[in-house]
Each structure stands twice: as C-alpha cells, then as structure tokens.
Amino acid sequence: MPIGGPPYTDAVILLDDVGQAVQLVRPPTRVVSLVPSLTEALALTVPDRLVGATDWCTHPQGLDVRRVRGTKNPDHRAIGELAPDLVVANREENRRVDVERLRGAGIPVWVTVIESVDQALGSLRRLCVDVLGVDEPTWLVAARRVWTGPVELPPAAVVVPIWRDPWMVVGSRTFTGDLLTRLGLGNRYADSTDRYPKVELGQLHRRAPDLVVLPDEPYAFSPDDGPEAFSGTATVLVSGRNLTWYGPAMVGARAELTAQIASALAARPDQMFRR
C-alpha cells in the first residue's frame, strides 16, 4: 500500500529506525510513549490514541494519560496493564534492555534514531505517516520549513554544557549539535569522538568559546547555577526544550533561540566572534 494512503487493516511489517522489523496488525490505537519529544508529537497528532507516557513528558501541558515512570526505568507492569499495541522509544533516551523486555512480552516497540535535524524530520514523518497511518501533520510541515531557512546569527563559537559535577557538553553526532550548525554557530566540541564528552571546567575555558549556552535540562542551569562558572565569558540561559526536543517544539524553537543568542552576542564588549 502506498505510503500515506488510507489506514491499513492487514498485518504489516515495517522496519524502525534501527532496522528492527515491527509487526503491526492495524494502525496502532493504544500507544505508549517513552520519549517526551515523541509524546508531544503523538498528543498533538493522534491524541485519542496516546494512553501512556513517562513522568518526564511535560508537554503538551495538561496531558492526561497514565504515567509509566521514567525514560530509563519504565514501569513494565504499568505498560502491560495499558495493553498497548505500540510503544514508541528512542535509541538515545531509552535502554535496550527495556525495549527487549517489552518485545519479549509481545508488545511491538518502534525505536527511533535522531542525531540530526534531517533525521528528526524524516523519523517523525515515518512515525506519523507509515506507522500511525495519518497525513503529515501541519506542525511537521512547519518545522521543516523553519529549519531550512537562512542563517540569521553572526558566526560564533559556542559550548553547550548539559551537566555539571562532572561537566558534560554536547559533542558530535547529536540533534542539538546539528541544530547549532543550522543556527550558524560553531560547536567547539563538534570534533569530539564522544556525543556527550565529560570535560574539566578548565578545558571548557581553554576552548575559548564566544558564548556558553546553558539549557535548563537535563541539568537545570539557572541564573544562580551555571553562569558563575564562566566569569569573563558570555553566557545565555535557554529552554532545553528548544535546544533538544524534536517534534512540535521545533516550530518555535528557532526564532526563540535566535533572539536569545543574538542578544547575548550583541552584549559582548568586543562583538568579535570566532567560528
């Protein structure tokens, strides 16, 4: 049957993002999401089908579904009691052991892999159109348009800590790193062999970034927790959802990040930026 056609009723086997065959008897009608970004996408696209989500799934606000604990420690019993015909997971966010245990219980699991903006757009389209059997949602069309626009920021070198004690930063092969590139920014750790390397604070300073971008998740950087470690270097506090969430959040993320980062760069005394 053509992709994007009417909902299928016969059994089909589709390959998820890691190449695992997933058998579906019909378009899933009871879906559990183990990924906050995907939960928001499902809630806005097929709200009547989403029956379970993690405690970390905070969007859309007021989401009223059963909670199945966290992304790294899902409650398998609670998931089973929901009798889902599909669980949606992500290779980075969720553990392989949990995926395998769910599959062992006879529950189909669709695993996504998202390490770039293009992967996000493609994976989300496959989930919506191929798996759920719905038309490409308007938010996804808008996200694709937003993130193919021209660069608006001046060239600047950045580092993006995601944790402290120990310090960890965004490295290579990440959705966030690609998003930074599309904003016109150069990630000082793009050459790292690790996706999220652990680094000493002194190493961060020696990379001489023009700007340190501090998101409020996964570590909750705040005005009193984070900027003080980078005295003499410009910092900007941003929404972690704008920086790391793929899905509907991508629609407004670019404008908000561009405005915040442009303001932080303009406030630098020398206004001289290095890539």
How do the domains of the chain map onto residue ranges? 12-145, 156-266
Distance (Å) of CA 107 to CA 33, 115, 141: 13, 26, 30
What rounded mean pLDDT belongs to the chain? 93
Beta bridge partner(s), residue 212: 159, 235
CB of 162 closer than 8 Å to CB of 215: yes
Residue 267: pLDDT band with limits 50, 70, 90: confident
- 95-153 pLDDT, tens digit per residue, is 999 999 999 999 999 999 999 999 999 999 999 999 999 999 999 999 999 999 889 89
* Higher-pLDDT residue of 184, 6: 184
Residue type, 102: L
Give the right CATH number for 12-145 from 3.40.50.620, 2.40.30.10, 3.50.50.60, 3.40.50.1980: 3.40.50.1980
Residue type, 106: G
- 139-191 pLDDT, tens digit per residue, is 999 999 999 988 989 999 999 999 999 999 999 999 999 999 999 999 999 99
Residue 166, pLDDT score: 96
Residue 25, pLDDT score: 79
Model confidence pTM above 0.75: yes
Residue 11, pLDDT score: 79
CATH class, range 156-266: alpha beta
CA angle 274, 185, 59 (to 5 degrees): 150
Which one, of 139, 146, 125, 114, lies nearest residue 256 by Cα? 146
Residue ranges of E strands in 29-129: 31-33, 50-53, 66-67, 86-90, 109-112
Percent residues over pLDDT 90 in the chain: 89
Residue 240, pLDDT score: 96
CB of 174 closer than 8 Å to CB of 192: no
User: One fold for both 12-145 and 156-266?
Assistant: yes
- 40-52 pLDDT, tens digit per residue, is 999 999 999 999 9
Residue 8, pLDDT score: 52
Residue 4, pLDDT score: 42
Beta bridge partner(s), residue 237: 214
- 220-265 pLDDT, tens digit per residue, is 999 999 999 999 899 999 999 999 999 999 999 999 999 999 999 9
Residue 269 has pLDDT above 80, yes or no: no
Residue ranges of E strands in 50-207: 50-53, 66-67, 86-90, 109-112, 156-159, 161-163, 167-169, 185-187, 198-199
Report how far residue 10's alpha carbon sits from residue 26's, in angstroms, rounded to the nearest whole number.
6
Residue 273, pLDDT score: 47
How distant is the alpha carbon of residue 157 from its chain centre? Answer: 22
How distant is the alpha carbon of residue 179 from its chain centre? Answer: 11
